[in-house]
Each structure stands twice: as C-alpha cells, then as structure tokens.
Amino acid sequence: MIDDIKDLSLIQKQKKLKRRSLSSAFWKTFPLAFVASVGMSLFGIMITGEFLEAFTIARAFETAGRIATSVFIMIAMFFSVHSFAHEEKFLVRNFTLVTIIVAMTYMACMATVYFFNVYIMPISLVSLILLVLTNRKTSLIATCGTALFILISFISPNKLETTLNIYGIIASIVCNLVAAVCVNSLASKHYTRLKFLVMSAVAAFVSVPLVVITTLAIGDVSLNIVYNLAWSYGGNVGAVLLSLPLCAIFEGIFNIADDFKLNELTALSHPLLKRLASEAPGTFNHSLVVGNLAEACAEAIGENPHLARCAAYYHDVGKLKAPVYFSENQSNYNPHDELIPEVSASMITSHTLFGEILAKKYRLPKEIISICREHHGTTPVGYFYRKALSLTEDGDLPSVDYVYSGPKPQSKVAAIIMIADTIEATCRSFMPDVKEEFVAMVDRLVGEKLNLGQFDECPITLDDLNKIKETIIDVLPSVHHSRVSYDKRK
C-alpha cells in the first residue's frame, strides 16, 4: 500500500514535469518545423513546374491548403514522437532530426520521381537514419509522415499528374512505404554496420512482389514491370547505402549516442578511459564493474544496455581532477586526514561538476554528459557531514555544503547508474557473505535513494526498481568473484 502511494506521487510529479517540458520543447522546435513544412510544400510545387501558377488568385486557396496540411502533419508528428523521448533536450534533438531528415528525404523522393521513375522513391532513407539515431517508433512515425507529405503533393490537378499516372504514384508510395516499414522492423541498430547494411537490403526486397502486384493492378502488363522493379529495389538499396554515411554525419553534428558510437566509446581505447586507467586505476576498476551491473539492469527493464555500460564507464571521470581524494584510489595516504570536513565534502561533490566539464571537453554524447552530472543526484555525503557535526558544539549544522549539486537522475539509465554505483561502492568496502544480508543491504541502499526523492524526476517505476534490485542481487556476487551463501547460520 505504501509502495502504491509512493508510486502514485512519483507518477504525478513526473506527469507534471513532462507537461512542462513538452510545451517548452514544442516552442523550441516549431520554428524549424514550420519552415520545413512551408519549404517542402514550395519545393513540391516548384518541381512540378507550377511555381508561378500556384500563386495566382485561382490557385492561391489550394496552395494555402497544401501548406496548412503540411504544417498540421508536422505538428501531429511532434505529438506522436514526444512520448518516446523522456527529456526535453532529447525531444528537441529527436524532433529537430526528424524535421531535417523528413524534409531531406521528401526532397530526394520528389526529385527522383520527377527526373527518373515514380517507383524509385527512397522513403526507407528516413526509416534507416532515424532508426539508428533515435528509436524504432520515432523512425516509424517519421516514415509514415514522409509518405503523407509525398502523397499530398500529388493530390491536386497539376502537370505532374498528367505526365505521371496518379495511380502509379500511389502504388509507388505504398510499395516504398511498406518496404521502409519492413526495413524499420527487421533491421536493428544493435547489429554491426555490415549486418545492418545486409539486413536492410534484404528487408527492402519486400518491395519486389508489391511492385509486380501494383503494376499489374493498374493495368500495365508491359515490360514496365521489370523497369519498375529495378527502380524500386534500386531506390531502396541506394537508401541503404546512403544511410550509413548520413548517420555518421548527423551523429557527429548532433553528438548522438547511437549504438555504433557507444561501441566505439566502450572499446577502452578512448583517451579519457586511458587517462582514467592510468591516473585513477581504482575508479577505472569500479567503473568497469558498474558497467557490468548497469548493462544487466538496463536489459532487465528494457532500456539500452549499450548506453548503460558506456555511461557507467564514464560516470566518474570527474575524479580525474584529484583521484587521491577518492577512497578507491588511496593506499596508505588519506589526504582527508589533513582537511576540514567542509573542504573534503566539496572535493568529493565537485567530481560530478568536473565530470560534466571533462565529458563536454572530450565531446561525449549528451546522454553520457547528463549522467556524469546526475549520478549522485542531490544526495548528501553522509560521512563528512557526520564528521563535521561531531566537531560542532551545539550539534546543529546546515547540510547544504554536504550535498551533491544535482540534478536528480532525469532518465531511467541515470537512475540505474545511481543504484549500481552506490551498491558497488558499498560492496567494495563490505561484501556480506550471507545472501539474506546482501539482499537486505541492496534493499536498504535503494530505499534510501527512493526516500530522498532521487527518482522523482525520471520515469522509473517501483516495478523497474524491483527488477534492478533482483538483477544486482544475481549479478554482483559473480562480478566480485565472491560466493554468497544462502544462509550461513543454517
């Protein structure tokens, strides 16, 4: 019952925050989306060679209607995409990407239709790029949006319709949309780059029978079937081949943590990880263990395990500023013995801030930078606060100088890192050898964070927290190479 009430207040707080960030993200992305919608409409009109005619009094109403429909589709895409990005900054980034890539693919489709063949539309380009750079659902919404943009460009009497059969255009949109949806469903960004290319090309093969059926259905039984087949499959394969270089370009421009980039970052050859290994070996070792735990926890609750492992590797890079002030890097000398507790606490808490600065300097993806800053939330450094308290005369001391500056975890992966980090650090100094004690310790550590409200700003549920605890209880003893007896007392 208590758990239900906690979960309810957590959900209410999260809903309130989400509403606020949704409206802010909308106004940040709307100007570009508006310009793209108008630009696409004008490009569609221009490529049909009717630009001047479209602005005559007779056609002005139709042109305005076409632009308004484009803007409406763009707004609808924003509200469809928003539920798949939990933080405002990621929603802004994802929708900006959607806007640019949809507009780019739309223009490529219109140009290829007009200059080559109606069946060549490379709609799968939007599907593939957004699958890698955002997520499957966002990519699917953008793919359908692109098909709609193309469709409305042809639903009015114009020159293109007279030269290009409208049924052929609709058939082509259907074939290439289905191929793009299949590519979206069958390809996975968790593949290697080569497997991604091969799977996408194989998935695009679905357009072959569809092109034959639709060409026959519109009454064309000539050699055009073979040409249409070649153009359609060629368009899809062209989209597949173009997708990877374009992904790399957008990945660089938007600094995105897609799986290809995450795999590069976790290869231990990154200069920042090399520095961590040589200058703060204790922290490096701790980060690797947290990486194993975080990856397993992310898999258990359906989050991205690559992101969780990568974020864990880099979460404590801020300790590079002064490694010796952190217990895992100390041997015989403890510099805190010579410092007043307030200074010690500030040395410890500043590692999240310095981590954020260092991660930005090394151009790590935004997701990782946020986790460097958020992984301790606004928790207190209890040891030094108690030490300072014992030195006061009246036993009263404000705790403000002894807490991390936050913010609290904003994503489920940040919450996973917070939990895995705390539990690993605690077990490093004391690993219970009885399973019941270990379970109680994990329960207590997660309960403390929950009671401090550290999960109030991320969409994690109590069910997720239970799965994370179960996973850590299963995985951590094997990572530490220790055996936890089921009940030593028996």
What residue ranges bind Fe ion (CB under 5 A)? 316, 421
For residue 238, give both structure tokens: 């062209």
For residue 259, give both structure tokens: 């799986």
Integer CA distances (angstroms), 16 to 9, 10, 12, 27, in order = 11, 10, 6, 18
Considering beta carbons, is residue 259 or 421 the nearer one to Fe ion?
A: 421
Considering beta carbons, is residue 316 or 457 the nearer one to Fe ion?
A: 316
Return the beta strands (E) in 124-192 as ranges. none
Among 453, 78, 443, 132, which residue's Cα sits nearest to residue 304?
Answer: 132
Considering beta carbons, is residue 190 or 361 the nearer one to Fe ion?
A: 361
Q: Give min distance, CB of 97 to Fe ion, in A.
A: 31
Residue 385 · residue 397 · CB < 8 Å: yes
Q: Give min distance, CB of 356 to Fe ion, in A.
A: 12
Q: Give min distance, CB of 44 to Fe ion, in A.
A: 52
In 266-405, where does DSSP find H-type helix?
271-279, 281-300, 305-314, 341-361, 366-374, 382-391
Q: Which residues of 431-470 are buried (b: 16+ CB within 10 A; e: fewer)?
A: ebeebebbbebbeebbeebbeeebbbbbbbeeebbebbbe
Considering beta carbons, is residue 188 or 378 the nearer one to Fe ion?
A: 378
Considering beta carbons, is residue 69 or 346 the nearer one to Fe ion?
A: 346
Q: Give min distance, CB of 470 to Fe ion, in A.
A: 21
Among 262, 255, 254, 329, which residue's Cα sits nearest to residue 294?
Answer: 262
Output the DSSP codes for 182-244: HHHHH--TTS-HHHHHHHHHHHGGGHHHHHHHHHHHTT--STHHHHHHHHHHHHHHHHHHHHH
DSSP 408: P
Instruction: Tokens 């010796």: give the residue.
Output: 324
Considering beta carbons, is residue 367 or 421 the nearer one to Fe ion?
A: 421
Q: Give min distance, CB of 420 to Fe ion, in A.
A: 9
Q: Give min distance, CB of 26 to Fe ion, in A.
A: 34
Considering beta carbons, is residue 304 or 379 the nearer one to Fe ion?
A: 379
DSSP 155: S
Q: Give min distance, CB of 431 to Fe ion, in A.
A: 17
Q: Give min distance, CB of 259 to Fe ion, in A.
A: 24
**Which amino acid belongs to residue 340?**
I
**Which amino acid belongs to residue 73?**
I
Q: Give min distance, CB of 429 to Fe ion, in A.
A: 13
Kind and range of the H or E run holding 151:
helix 136-154
Considering beta carbons, is residue 50 or 421 the nearer one to Fe ion?
A: 421
Considering beta carbons, is residue 88 or 421 the nearer one to Fe ion?
A: 421
